[in-house]
Amino acid sequence: MIVVGLNVMKWHRAIPIFCVLILLSVATAGCTASLNPPYIQFNASPSTAGTPAGINAQGTTNGTAHMLAVEQLGNNSYTGAVSDVVVYTQPGTGHVFVETEPVTGVDFQETARTAVTVAAARAHVNSNQRDFEFVVSVPKGVDEVDGPSAGLPMTIATYSAIMKKPVNQSVYSTGTIDSSGTVGDVGGVYWKAEAAAQSGARVILVPYNETVVSTTSPLETNPVGGVNLQSQLSHDGYNVTVVGVKNVDQALPYYFI
């Protein structure tokens, strides 16, 4: 179902999947055939994914945050992947736009609107007086993105754009977001954290309940007999700090000085 050559991924279009990127074809408590899992789906073709382009409109600012993903390889093995979300904002009337290359699905679009609501509330601005555009920078070959699992980094990027504050690029995160700002569980946390560490992360924020993770199945969000993520990454030779966060308010201090 997946062809991987470095960062080139081919995803089965009929199945939604993982926390920023993962393909899953079986139903579980965390991912079912209802097409509403806490995961993000990337569908790829031989085309080249779009990359963010600057907007020259007066008053436009932007913010960027890292998104984390999991790719399913052969022989029931997995690997992590890193992409970025860029959010542009300018004075407007409350529109939320999502770039169409790569194509984004309904879950991603709904998450973008939630991210705007949550970030605007923390920035104490009226989101109806601004417009927002979300652009996803993904590995070459990915042409479709869907799912809510990048909610936390999407909210951080939106807050960065509104406040005109640069994000600490050594901080990586994963987690869904709801309208109250609560960070929800996702799948594949170990592989995502490993990819973040390999990309230079110094701090990795994960959902509060997922500091103990599975290293065998990305489907398990609350595994029995899982391993401590901090200990496992240290054992694997990575110098990173893992922090479990309950909401976006706990995440903001790690991203902004």
pLDDT of residue 105: 83
CATH class assigned to 41-45+60-255: alpha beta
Catalytic residue, chosen from 137, 149, 160, 214, is 149
The pLDDT profile of the chain, 257 residues, written as one tens digit per residue, is 222 222 333 333 333 333 333 333 222 223 322 223 333 444 433 333 333 334 445 679 999 999 998 887 877 889 888 999 999 999 999 999 998 777 778 888 999 999 999 999 999 999 999 999 999 887 666 666 777 789 999 999 999 999 999 999 999 999 999 999 999 999 999 999 999 999 999 999 999 999 999 988 888 787 778 999 999 999 999 999 999 999 999 999 999 97
- DSSP classification of residue 8: B
Instruction: Count CB-CB contacts under 10 A for residue 222.
Output: 14
Q: What is the pLDDT of residue 143?
A: 64
- Region for residue 35 given its phi and psi (left: phi exceeds 0; alpha: psi -120 to 50; beta: otherwise): left
Q: How many C-beta neighbours within 10 Å does residue 54 have?
A: 9
218: Cα separation from own chain's centroid? 15
Looking at residue 107, what is its pLDDT? 87
pLDDT at residue 113, as a whole number: 97
Q: If we measure between CA atoms, which residue out of 181, 176, 163, 244 comes closest to residue 30?
A: 176
* Whether residue 149 lies in the annotated active site: yes
First to last CA, the chain: 43
In this prediction, residue 63 carries a pLDDT of: 96
192 is catalytic: yes
pTM: 0.78
The pLDDT value recorded for residue 16 is: 33
pLDDT at 236: 94
**What is the pLDDT at residue 43?**
41
As a whole number of angstroms, the distance between CA 48 and CA 50 comes to 7
Catalytic residue among 127, 173, 192, 214: 192
